[in-house]
């Protein structure tokens, strides 16, 4: 059998297993198989199967989760670099705070002037994310990757430290220093887990609330979405201010 | 009555709608829609599912026994009356000639 066809069938199976909701799996599995059967062997089949795989991301709107995870990862890496004194801590915090604060302010200003199309888009996104509180596979893989990476880094760093190859700038007892290093390397995955869980919880709440408004007037639904945007903006402004606080104090 | 929400009408979704409007009485399988619209499979199925959930499209399985036919069943899609009107409305904004619903 042609390798391209084998790959196409494998991609199709993965795509079907990734399909959400589960009720759609059987239907799309058969439908996509029929689609592949109608195409000539080789590249056309493979490219169609790659498309099915890609479409599972679109169905679940997982791009949002991925963007969220990338942001989490970037923030944690930033703090991690700060903890290793690769970047000056306070100016970085301040810069992050200003960016987050400006974004939050923009959201608050945008909320009342957002078009119905924008609000529908947000409504759709919340509906797609749904009620489930389970983390997506992408989130789990991402966290898992950082757990493994953190363990390797913590082991290597501790080994170098115990051999005296890393300078003990704070003059801490070796056991405490190694413990702190392990905690520092455990921060990114645990922080990502907490943030991803918080995100799921929040989306679940919003979804339930909007579901409750499903049968009522459309305007009430849009008012709730505007409230969600304003609330998110306000939280961003507060976080931004808190992040800027250390530079103000010292 | 179908869902009155307006979906995001991207270029790909308009191409899918045009494929249906040009063949309003035909039941089209996914592969046919792809050939007529030129939209890639990765974009096509989410669009079709979305239009179906909004009531613009309806669908049914091909009436064959997969074992006898030796191939999986296809799923056919067609425009509903509401979908036809809404699709025409969407495309007429772009200056397309509106076909009649027969």
Q: Find out whether A192 and A76 touch, Cβ atoms under 8 Å.
A: yes
Q: What is the pLDDT of residues A122-133, one digit of tens each?
A: 887 777 777 777
Q: Which residue has the higher pLDDT, A39 or A76?
A: A39
What's the pLDDT band for B101 if we cut at 50, 70, 90? very low
pLDDT score of B61? 92
Reference A143, options A178, A187, A182; nearest CA is: A187
From chain A, the residues in CB contact with B45 under 8 A are: 28, 31-32, 52, 55, 59
What are the tens digits of pLDDT across the range B58-78? 999 998 888 888 888 999 999
Mutate to test the interface with A, among B9, B33, B45, B70 (most CBs of A within 10 A): B45
Length of chain A: 250
Q: Is residue B72 a contact partner of residue B66, using CB atoms and an 8 Å limit?
A: yes
Distance of CA A167 to the CA centre of its chain: 35
Alpha helices in chain A (DSSP H): 3-18, 23-37, 43-60, 62-83, 89-110, 116-129, 137-162, 174-212, 218-249
Whether residue A55 and residue B41 make contact (CB cut-off 8 A), yes or no, is: yes
SS3 A32: helix
Query: Considering only A156-160, A165-169, B51-55, which range has the smallest mean pLDDT?
Result: A165-169
B1 has a pLDDT exceeding 50: no
The total of other beta-carbon atoms located within 10 Å of residue B29's CB is 19
A112-119 average pLDDT score: 81
CB-CB under 8 Å, A34 with B30: yes
d(CA A221, CA A209): 9
CB A17 within 8 A of CB B4: no
Contacts of A13 (CB under 8 A, 6+ apart): none
Closest C-alpha to A55, from A82, A88, A29: A29
**Phi and psi torsions of B75, nearest 5°:** -110, 130
Helix (H) / strand (E) containing A17: helix A3-18
Q: How far is CA A196 from CA A37, A71, A72, A188, B9, in A?
A: 39, 11, 9, 12, 31
Is the per-residue pLDDT at A205 higher than 50?
yes
Q: Could you tell me the strand order of the sheet in which B75-79 lies?
A: B28-29, B75-79, B57-61
Q: Residue A66: is its pLDDT beyond 60?
A: no
pLDDT at residue B96 above 60?
A: no
- In a mutagenesis test of the A interface, which of B36, B39, B42 is the best target, namely the one with the most A β-carbons within 10 Å? B42
| CA gap A66, A79 in Å, rounded | 20
Other Cβ atoms closer than 10 A to A124:
15
Tell me which range, A187-196, B41-50, B75-84, is most confidently predicted by mean pLDDT: B75-84
Q: Which residues of A141-156 are buried (b: 16+ CB within 10 A; e: fewer)?
A: ebbeebbeebeebbee
Instruction: Out of A105-109, A185-189, B13-17, pick the least confident.
Output: A185-189
Percent of chain A with pLDDT over 90: 3
CB atoms within 10 A of CB A138: 17
**pLDDT, tens digit (0-9, with 9 covering 90-100), for B14-49:** 889 999 998 888 899 999 999 999 888 888 888 898
How many angstroms separate the CA atoms of B71 and B69, rounded?
Answer: 5
Q: How far apart are CA B18 and CA B22, in angstroms?
A: 6
pTM of the model: 0.50
* A17-41 average pLDDT score: 83
- ipTM for the complex shown: 0.84
Average of per-residue pLDDT across A198-218? 79
Of all residues in chain B, the one with the smallest CA distance to A27 is B75
């Amino acid at each position: 059998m042609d390798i391209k066809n084998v790959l196409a069938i494998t991609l199709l199976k993965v795509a079907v297993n990734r399909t959400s909701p589960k009720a759609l799996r059987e239907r799309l599995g058969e439908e996509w198989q029929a689609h592949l059967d109608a195409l000539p062997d080789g590249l056309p089949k493979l490219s169609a199967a790659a498309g099915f795989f890609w479409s599972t991301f679109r169905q679940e709107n997982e791009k949002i989760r991925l963007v969220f995870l990338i942001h989490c990862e970037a923030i944690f890496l930033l703090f991690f670099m700060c903890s290793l004194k690769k970047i000056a801590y306070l100016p970085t915090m301040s810069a992050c705070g200003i960016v987050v604060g400006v974004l939050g302010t923009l959201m608050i200003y945008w909320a009342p002037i957002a078009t119905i199309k924008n609000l529908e888009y947000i409504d759709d996104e919340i509906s797609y994310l749904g009620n489930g509180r389970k983390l997506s596979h992408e989130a789990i893989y991402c966290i898992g990757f950082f757990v493994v990476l953190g363990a390797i880094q913590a082991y290597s760093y501790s080994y170098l430290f115990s051999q005296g190859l890393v300078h003990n700038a704070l003059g801490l007892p070796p056991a405490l220093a190694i413990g702190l290093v392990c905690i520092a390397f455990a921060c990114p995955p645990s922080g990502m887990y907490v943030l991803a869980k918080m995100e799921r919880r929040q989306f679940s709440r919003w979804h339930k609330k909007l579901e409750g408004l499903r049968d009522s007037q459309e305007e009430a639904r849009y008012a709730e979405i505007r409230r969600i945007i304003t609330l998110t903006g306000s939280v961003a402004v507060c976080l931004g201010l808190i992040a800027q606080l250390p530079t103000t104090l010292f | 009555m179908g869902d009155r929400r307006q979906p995001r009408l991207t270029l790909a979704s308009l191409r899918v709608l045009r494929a249906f409007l040009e063949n309003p009485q035909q039941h089209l399988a996914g592969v046919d829609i792809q050939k007529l619209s030129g939209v890639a499979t990765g974009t096509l199925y989410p669009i079709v599912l979305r239009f179906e959930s909004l009531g613009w499209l309806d669908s049914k399985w091909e009436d064959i026994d997969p074992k006898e036919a030796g191939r999986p069943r296809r799923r056919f899609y067609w425009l509903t009356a509401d979908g036809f009107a809404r699709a025409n409305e969407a495309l007429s904004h772009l200056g397309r000639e509106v076909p009649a619903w027969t």
